[in-house]
Amino acid sequence: MKTQVLIIGGGPSGLLLSQLLYTRGIDSIVLERKTKDYVLGRIRAGVLERGLLDLMREAGVADRMEKEGFPHDGTLISYDDEIFRVDFSEHTGHAVMVYGQTEVTRDLYEAREKANGKIEYNVENVVIHDADSDAPYVTYDIGGEARRVDCDFIAGCDGFHGVSRQAIPLDVRKEYEKIYPFGWLGILSETPPVNHELIYANSSRGFALCSMRNENLSRYYIQCSLSDSPDDWTDEAFWEELKRRIPADQAEKLVTGPSIEKSIAPLRSFVTEPMRWGRLFLCGDAAHIVPPTGAKGLNTAASDVHYLYNGLRDFYENNSSEGIDTYSQKALARVWKAERFSWWFSSLMHRFPDQTDFDYKIQLAELEFLRENEAAQKAMAENYVGLPY
């Protein structure tokens, strides 16, 4: 087979890139190592930045999001029994949208299928060949049959454990990483959210987050030890711990119920440079990971898609390689700002195992400064709704 852009990874970033290219008449094939149902079964983030909202509209897949998503004009931050609000709309003129990543992915699958887009599932043994030449190609197996796709460009949207980043030689790429000494225990429950806006909580017992997917589907998290297992936590123990970490007035109105999903996510910050090697471009988790505090994972992947899509469009429509030549530089400049914000917000809201009394007092001073200072709130709001592309 032959295509213009071969996309490795059928998650939201790969599908979004494929759909955007389709709107400009640029051909692509998507390779996904799992089934469609498996991809849709992954529970992920649900806060969309303004830039991703615009990309969804440009891709023609925003109708359901506009009807069913929940615009959020601000967020609540608590420490101990104190709570204050950061108003995004007031400080930036923009809001974010609460709309699950699973729903984003479902909308993109529907659009690609409607357009007869080529998506190969259950692919194995994916190998990238000659990415540093003008004639790259990819080989893979499907159902025991060996296949090959020749292409102009390869987009690696296959996540942290995918093959794309590994295809860049070690003497070319440099990796930066920070591992956080705790995880997030998260549950999904068919209960109404405790508040119509997200609550980020810093308590003496550790971090907590009250989030939601819709009016009767809530997502809650608590900071936990990396040695914990989801099986260590009964639903009752989770709810009791969550109540201890959020302000008393919020805990009193918390509606509890059985969990329909429970998992623990480790936290890390990770960036690889460069994000381009020859005709291979890395997007999203293949190139960078952020801790989930601040909801930058999917949104930073979307900014990569923005830069790559526009670079490829310029290449095919205007015969200009400037966009693809500057892709890594532009993407990384924004990635590092998102990494900084995620690191800052994580450092502000969590209790660290080796935290001293001095560290706590500094954290408390930072929280009180954020509560009282309009400029600090504006800076946070600008980062939360998404820095411009």
Question: Active-site residue 307, yes or no?
Answer: no
Catalytic annotation, pick one of 288, 291, 292, 309: 292
Catalytic annotation, pick one of 109, 137, 200, 309: 200
Catalytic annotation, pick one of 91, 94, 288, 296: 296
Catalytic annotation, pick one of 72, 91, 94, 330: 72
Strands 145-156 and 280-282: parallel
Inter-residue contact 275 to 224 (CB < 8 Å): no
For the record, the structure tokens of 389 come out as: 């592309």
With b meaning 16 or more CB within 10 Å and e meaning fewer, what string describes 82-93?
A: ebeebebeebbe
Which of 178, 209, 160 is CA-nearest to residue 47?
A: 209
Question: Active-site residue 306, yes or no?
Answer: no
For the record, the structure tokens of 213 come out as: 């997917």
CB 325: neighbour CB atoms within 10 A? 12
Question: Active-site residue 353, yes or no?
Answer: no
Question: Active-site residue 288, yes or no?
Answer: no
Question: Active-site residue 118, yes or no?
Answer: no
Positions annotated as catalytic residues are 72, 200, 292, 296, 384
